[in-house]
Amino acid sequence: MSDPTSEDSNLKQVWQSQPTEGVRMSIAEVQAKASTFQRKIWDRNLREYGAAAIVVVFFGIRFVQTPDPFIRLGMALIVAGMCYLTWQLHVRGSSRELPKDAGLSSFIEFQRGQLIRQRDTLTHIWSWYLGPLVPGLVVMMVAIGRAAAGRVPHIWPLTAFYLGIIFAVFFAIDRLNKRAASSLQRQIDALDAASR
């Protein structure tokens, strides 16, 4: 008579050694997720383009109306920074068209590439989004402080306070984008796991 514990042990080993199949996604699921993601990117970029247009028009009008050359320089730098970041957003972060009639692996590869592209865009936000605005903001705030010196008491501490607020907002934007980049990385990891 055979030992039942030995048989149970053998069955358990056979069962545990079987290859496991990861969670697989259908083409329709990948296509739907990719389409939703692309729409979110398109909507985000449209909002950013609209906000940039408002800033450019506002500072463009103020540039013409302001006589102080240093304040005008700051405004011109802000407009240039906005134009640069809008162009960078288009180059780095615009949505791409989904491939038509592709197989599952092509859709997964496409979606993974888009997730990586957006993750990298958000990770490097200082180099192309926030950074280009810093020179114009600093020049304009210092120029406003210089123009108000003698008329407004404690203008330089006040100017430093406003610059501090601007940089605190910039760092908050950076943190939010880093968090979004981490979320995209989790989606990349989940896609990798599902496609194995």
The DSSP annotation for 17-82 comes to HSPPPPP---HHHHHHHHHHHHHHHHHHHHHHHHHHHHHHHHHHHHHHH---HHHHHHHHHHHHHH
pTM tops 0.85, yes or no: no
User: In this predicted model, what pLDDT tens digit does every residue of 66-88 receive, in sequence order?
Assistant: 999 999 999 999 999 999 999 99
The domain spans of the chain are 25-194
Contact yes or no for 122/174 (Cβ under 8 A) = no
Provide the mean pLDDT of the chain: 86
Q: pLDDT class for 97, splitting at 50, 70, 90?
A: confident
Mean pLDDT (whole number) for 47-63: 97
pLDDT at 173: 97
| Contact (Cβ atoms closer than 8 angstroms) between residue 184 and residue 119 | yes
Grouping H, G, I as helix, E, B as strand and the rest as coil, residue 51 is helix
Q: pLDDT tens-digit profile of 168-178?
A: 999 999 999 99
Question: What is the SS3 string spanning 79-108?
Answer: HHHHHHHHHHHHHHHCCCCCCCCCCHHHHH
